[in-house]
Homo-oligomer: A and B are copies of this chain.
Amino acid sequence: MTTHEVANALVKFCTEGKLDKAIETLYSPDIVSMEAGAPPGQSRESKGLAAVKAKNEFWTASHDVHSFIVEGPLVAGSQFAVVFKIDATIKAQSRRFQMEEVAVYKVADGKIVYEEFFYNM
């Protein structure tokens, strides 16, 4: 898959709420995923497919998603950017919040090998 094809597939999966399918089909076993920040004692970085799947499963299980809007992609060589606009509730706290973030992805050999998220902490 070209970068454009990977980018469009990611946007389609995310728009349909199928982040698990995006990870399963588009991510490299060697994926590195970088958050904008992390709680004290935890790392911003997750390495490997199992860690990234676990991060996604935790997020999905702990949130009720009211809307999840994806804008983009903007594609440049083997990189692309999208924007996520999320309206969700943290189940355990019954706390609803809205957040917007930029995500940058790098593609190698047709798979996503790196992702980084930019949002306010």
Contacts and interface: CB of A to CB of B under 8 A. Distances in A.
Interface of A: 71-72, 74-85, 99-102, 104, 106, 118-120
A75 to B, nearest CB: 7
Contact of A79 (B76, B78, B82, B101): B101
B118 A102 contact: no
Summarize A's interface: helix, strand, loop or mixed. strand
B76 A85 contact: yes
27 contacts: A71-B74, A71-B76, A72-B74, A72-B81, A74-B81, A74-B82, A74-B83, A74-B102, A76-B84, A76-B85, A76-B100, A76-B101, A76-B102, A76-B118, A77-B99, A77-B100, A77-B101, A77-B119, A77-B120, A78-B120, A79-B101, A79-B102, A79-B120, A81-B81, A81-B104, A104-B118, A106-B118
Contacts of A82: 74
A100 B73 CA distance: 14
Nearest to A80: B102
Of A77, A119, A120, the most chain B CB neighbours within 10 A belong to A77
A33 to B, nearest CB: 15
A77 B75 CA distance: 20
